[in-house]
Amino acid sequence: MSDTEKIRTSDEVSAIDKADMDLVLQVEDLVTNFYTYEGTVLALDRVNLFLRRGDTMGVVGETGCGKSVSAKSILRLVEPPGRIEHGRILFNALDRKTGEITTTDLLELSEKEMLGIRGAKIAIVFQDPATYPNPVFRVGTQISEVIKLHQDLSAEGLEMRIEELGAEIKYRELQESDRIRRSEAEKRRKGSDYDEKDQEKETKHKEKYKAQQTRMERKLGYLKGMIDNPPEPPKLYRDAVAMRRAIKMLEMVKMPAADRVVMQYPHELSGGMRQRALIAMALSCNPNILICDEATTALDVTVQAQVLNLLNELKEEIGTSIMIITHDLGVVAETCNWVNVMYAGTTVESAATDELFSNPIHPYTSGLLQAIPKLHENKERLDQILGIVPNLITPPPGCRFHPRCEFATEICRQDRPDLREIKPMHFVACHNPQGSF
Amino acid sequence: MDDNILLKTVKLKKYFPLTGGVFRKVVGKVHAVDGVNLDIVKGETLGVVGESGCGKTTLGRTILRLLSPTSGKIIFDGRDITRLDQKDLRSIRREMQIVFQDPMASLDPRITIKKTVGEPLIVNGVAKGQQVRNMVLDLLQKVGLTEDHLNRFPHEFSGGQRQRICIARALALNPKFVVMDEPTSSTDVSVQAQTLNLMKDLQDEFDLTYMFISHNLSVVKHMSDRVAVMYLGQVVELTPQDLFRKSYHPYTFALVSAVPVPDPRFAGRAQILKGEVPSPINPPTGCRFHPRCVFAQGICKRQEPKLDDMGGGHFVACHFAGELDFGISSQMDYASAVGRE
């Protein structure tokens, strides 16, 4: 946020300075272009976003305003012909064990290092639950794949092996005592017929059992000795542990009959259940950031309410910061505490949800708020924003909103407004801000 | 009153056969529309809402005879069209049109807009030659497009404009009745507002009767004079009143309160309905909503409730209609709070 930086330095102790420490993600002047045959699509033009730790941040805007491209740029998933040209994406990762915060610029990482971030530290849930999960793998396999890839399963694997070995020793003990009981009964039945041969057989059995038992106990002791420094578990145990965690994750997202669902294929689940499974998959590595790219758009209102409620609950449980990308202002009001409004590849307004909804300053934001049919009003006509979203190959010069803006003046046509802090914690990119400030 | 009714359905049913096995035997039926009685009065907009899979779209298509009904009656303008053959249907179809959900899929990508919109005129022998062009231009101008657009192809338009073209095509034959099947579900808020305003204007201008199908409750409420709420192929509530203020059916209430309120002060108050819509292949016995209903009692399992008039043309299909206390939804809270301000 280079533009706000100037303001910040002039202020002695600004509120944002304190909040700055807590930022988990900071996108600065991000530029992403798509080089198509028709020309260069300027999809993101100096986008600024920030996400505070523990917050739910919403990104709203119309189709083609760059919401999804921002999310993909953050994860470096922009595919050719698209390219990230400029900017910084600062990610302040928190190590949950040590509590250390490390800052990295995601755009400077190598592709290999990026693999360690995607899914593990920043996870994403995509829009269409019908196409996203792989149809030929079981739900459990897909979730446990993520877990196996990113998580250290050795401790749990060792635990599982110790548990299993202990159980086996106990089982053998029971078996042995059972055998002894039976052989004693046999002895009584035979009476005087019980000869040396039988006696020999009996001792042989006992010796064999003892040898086996000591061998297993020695192994158990060996495994227990490794508990401080657990080794990589064998594949069988990795799979089993990962599957067990997958079931736990599914239970956390309130999937009914989770142990059955892990063995099912995605097509056997309904849309809402599939979206839950995807959320479970995304959260399975305790990511610092969860990005929901229109995660509830394809769902019915009642199911959407279930999923949104779930996200709100999980945020507190796991301590993940969530970035919700949506075009539905209702969803934003329901879940987010900070909102970024985007228009044609630029951030036009950024403020706390209460502030933005009660006091929209950018003409586009207020137009957007007025265009939704309200439940309580009986209006004959809706207030509409005139015109259509501009073509991003040849975006309008100056402020990209000026052709549709009723307050546009000469400066709007020539000069691109910067995002500035118009009042404390309310950032607007407009030459003629409306509303009270 | 009867003269005013443009379209009437009597116990309309549409089942889809479910085939399986080697010989594609019919192994079950999907109860898509199951006994719907509706009257649509001339000049009104009847909104139809419900979750996906509740049979809204099937109802719309069956009414237009794009799907032939399994049983029941459809009476359009005093004429029973349930069993008409294709030839007779053609004349009826001039009077009733449909606008589909996905405008890109319902426009032929290989012919120009002039041809697309002009085709119904030519097929029905309404106009010829130069006359077609003038009529098409007239229609396009009515939906807010210009002469430049005449010779363009669908891919050259934006989503909102394509939907306008579909509307122009539907209006080409001057119909009385138009089914709007989720016309704005694929468009953005600002374009949606434009399309909805346009539809209202055209309704006044052409004296149209709409059946407006959508899953978006606020859009339906904005557009409609009366709203029918569907659940698993049946109409559970039909109300001329504001759905958000007064509802008698527990499903309507749950549906309404699940709509996110665009005001952060009312966040997190949605009443959350458990589970999901059951399969329409084996719908629950009795009241179809009973497995998810918090008020369900013994009778709900056994007996199917009838659509009863609660007074003022407000019909509800619930055994305990009017006796249940739902509490206050976030929508009502919101409405009263905004009212006070």
According to DSSP, the residues that pair with A289 across neighbouring strands are A122, A321
Split at pLDDT 50, 70, 90, the class of A14 is very low
Residues in chain B with pLDDT < 70?
A: 1-2, 267-271, 330-331, 338-341
The number of angstroms, rounded, from the C-alpha of B317 to the middle of its chain's C-alpha atoms is 19
Dist. CA A60–CA A325, nearest whole Å = 6
Read off the pLDDT of residues A23-41 as tens digits, 9 standing for 90 and up.
888 888 899 999 988 888 8
pLDDT for res B74: 92
Digit-coded pLDDT (tens) for A293-330: 888 877 788 888 888 888 888 888 877 889 999 888 88
pLDDT tens digits along A192-225: 777 888 888 888 888 988 998 899 888 888 888 8
User: Contact B218/A372, CB-based, under 8 Å?
Assistant: yes
Give the amino acid at A237.
Y
User: What distance in Å separates residue A346's CA from the closest CA in chain B?
Assistant: 17
- For residues A97-114, give the mean pLDDT: 83
Q: Does A350 have pLDDT greater than 50?
A: yes
Is the Cα torsion angle B208, B209, B212, B218 positive or negative in sign? positive
* H/E element, A323: strand A321-326
pLDDT above 70 for A9: no
Q: Beta strand A56-60 with A321-326: parallel, antiparallel or unpaired?
A: parallel
Q: Which residue has the tokens 């579900």?
A: B185
Tell me if chain A has a CB within 8 Å of the CB of B338: yes
Q: Which amino acid is at A115?
A: L
B106 to chain A, any CB pair closer than 8 A? The answer is: no
* Confidence label for A375 from pLDDT (cuts 50, 70 and 90): low
In this structure, are residues A329 and A345 in contact, taking their beta carbons and an 8 Å threshold? Answer: no
Residues 375-414 of A with CB under 8 A from B: 375-376, 378-385, 388-389
Decide if A165 touches B, using CB distance below 8 A. no
- Dist CA A356 CA A350 (whole Å): 8
Picking from A312, A376, A378, the nearest residue to B268 by CB comes out as: A312
Of A367, A369, A376, the CB nearest to B339: A376
CB within 8 Å of chain A, chain B residues 23-52: 51-52
Percentage of residues in chain B having pLDDT higher than 70: 95
Nearest CB partner across the interface for A385, out of B190, B254, B339: B190
CB atoms A306 and B273 under 8 Å: yes
What pLDDT does residue A16 have?
44
Distance separating the N- and C-terminal Cα atoms of chain B: 40
Six token digits for residue A279: 């959320």
- Yes or no, beta carbons of B255 and A379 under 8 Å apart: no
Mean pLDDT value across residues A162-172: 89
CB B44 within 8 A of CB B60: no
Q: How far is A377 from chain B (nearest CA, A)?
A: 8
How far apart CA B84 and CA B95 sit, in angstroms, is 15
Is the minimum CB–CB distance between B262 and chain A shorter than 8 Å? yes
Task: Test A333 with B267 for CB contact under 8 angstroms.
Answer: yes
For residue A413, what pLDDT is reported? 86
B55 within 8 A of B32, measured Cβ to Cβ: yes
**pLDDT of the residue at B312:** 80
* Nearest-by-CA chain A residue for B279: A270
% pLDDT > 70, chain A: 93
Residue B213 has which token pair? Answer: 């199908």
The string of pLDDT tens digits covering residues A247-291 is 988 888 878 788 888 888 888 887 778 888 888 888 888 888 999
pLDDT value for B323: 79
Residues found in chain B: 341
Task: Give residue for tokens 């508990």.
Answer: A227
Q: Is the ipTM of this complex over 0.90?
A: no
Phi, psi of B121 (to 5 degrees): -65, -40
Mean residue pLDDT of chain A comes to 83
Cα–Cα distance, A262 to A260 (Å, whole number): 6
Instruction: Kindly tell me if the per-residue pLDDT of A142 is higher than 80.
Output: yes
Over residues A125-142, the mean pLDDT reads 83
Asked if B257 and B275 touch (Cβ cutoff 8 Å), the reply is no
Task: DSSP for B21-78, please give it.
Answer: TTTTEEEEEEEEEEEEEEEEETT-EEEEE--TTSSHHHHHHHHTTSS--SEEEEEETT
CA distance B308 to A359: 45
> In which region does residue A220 sit, left (phi positive, over 0), alpha (psi from -120 to 50) or beta (all else)?
alpha
Cα B302 from Cα B295, distance rounded (Å): 15
Chain A and chain B share a number of CB contacts under 8 A equal to 136
Inter-chain touch B258–A381, beta carbons under 8 Å: no
Which pLDDT score is estimated for A320? 85
Rounded (10°) CA dihedral B280, B282, B287, B291: -90
CB-based contact B334 A376, cutoff 8 Å: yes
Question: B255 near B78, Cβ under 8 Å?
Answer: no
pLDDT value at position A18?
A: 41
Q: Which of A304, A280, A326 is nearest to A70 (CA)?
A: A326
* pLDDT beyond 70 at A3: no
Residues in chain A closer than 8 A to B188 (CB atoms): 62-63, 327, 389
